[in-house]
Amino acid sequence: MAPPMTYTHDKDSSRLSVAPMMAWTDRHCRYFHRRLAPSALLYTEMVTTGAVLHGDRERLLAYNPEEHPVALQLGGSEPADLAASAKVAVDYGYDEINLNVGCPSDRVQKGRFGACLMKEPDTVRDGLKAMADVVDVPVTVKTRLGVDELYSYDYFRDFVGRVTDGTGVDTVIAHARIAFLAGLSPKENRDVPPLHHDWVYRLKQEMPHLTVVLNGGVETVDQVTEHLAQVDGVMLGRAAYHDPWVLARCQHALLGGGGPEAPEDVLPAMTAYLERLATAGVPVKHATRHMLGLFGGQPGARAWRRYLSENAHRDDADTGLLDGALAAMREVQAA
């Protein structure tokens, strides 16, 4: 595995990031997002400590060198397991280790990690410190505003203060919603609870020594800009997946440019990537499924999506798939 790029976790490096999203932000998705936003910090899907320590590490942890800076999100609660997993991640070259304290799914609760840990701040603190003590890359935490009955600004502030104090952790990513451990599905937990961006703003005001990154309900460049006037960074989630071109717009507006000028500009690099996959025997659909929204809002975008959806599974090694989808879109535009 290639060594990490020179990378320090500070306010500049946290300005734009893409959230860890299960079943979405795999290595192929991250490669695609890197083509759109060269300066964004990318996160893996959550990987449990049990999987890191006892599973197929190469399948779970391998990534493309071009993805740097890339952070591994861990799910777990036992300090010794978290520390051991963090050391494995550093050996693989990850630039940051992030602890998941926000996922509300039943499976995650049964494993005693994710959002249920908001009820156990000392457990979170011990886990963060255990990791920070054994690795030389930044350790961060991603949390909610509260969980179940533990929901107030005071609880959120005190939780953050408690889990960061004396741990060596100074970056907090806050999903600006409560999590309900029962009664709402994980999807509903991303939509139903009200957003409180103001709580995240207030946390930054009251704890200026922390790097505070806001997540939740952010969809446009203007919104990112507005939030950056109050906090150190913004993490895009579903918006970056369904409308990936927003990453390029953010790159140009906020991070000094360097990204593609138009969506079609990423196609040569992605076609070359499909060729790499085909040579390795990896079905190209694993990458093209993340590209459905690339031309969102443009005339012919539906034809682009339809072509990819209908043809990606027909030939696992069809490296001309993107050219065919682009031609289908152009045909609609010319009609």
Taking only the tens place, the pLDDT of each residue in 193-233 is 889 999 999 999 999 999 999 999 999 999 999 999 999 99
For the residues 123-145, what does the mean pLDDT come to?
98
Q: What topology is assigned to 263-334 in CATH?
A: Four Helix Bundle (Hemerythrin (Met), subunit A) (1.20.120)
Task: Specify the pTM.
Answer: 0.94
Can 116 be counted among the known catalytic residues? no
Q: What is the pLDDT of residue 12?
A: 65
DSSP secondary structure of 63-114: --GGG-SEEEEEE---HHHHHHHHHHHHHTT-SEEEEEE----HHHHHTT-G
What CATH number belongs to 16-254?
3.20.20.70
Q: What is the pLDDT of residue 66?
A: 96
User: Is 21 marked within a binding site?
Assistant: yes
User: Is 142 marked within a binding site?
Assistant: yes
> Would you say residue 21 has pLDDT above 60?
yes
User: Is 93 marked within a binding site?
Assistant: no
Average pLDDT score, the chain: 93
Q: What is the residue extent of each domain of the chain?
A: 16-254, 263-334
Q: What is the pLDDT of residue 5?
A: 41
Taking only the tens place, the pLDDT of each residue in 236-287 is 999 999 999 999 999 999 998 889 999 999 999 999 999 999 999 999 999 9
Taking only the tens place, the pLDDT of each residue in 164-199 is 999 999 999 999 999 888 777 777 867 778 899 999
Q: Which of 29, 103, 116, 250 is catalytic?
A: 103
> Would you say residue 2 has pLDDT above 50?
no
- Please enumerate in sequence order all residues whose Cβ is within 8 A of that of 144, keeping only pairs 6 or more positions apart, or say none: 101, 102, 104, 115, 118, 174, 175, 177, 178, 179
Taking only the tens place, the pLDDT of each residue in 63-120 is 999 999 999 999 999 999 999 999 999 999 999 999 999 988 777 666 678 889 999 9
User: Is 22 marked within a binding site?
Assistant: yes
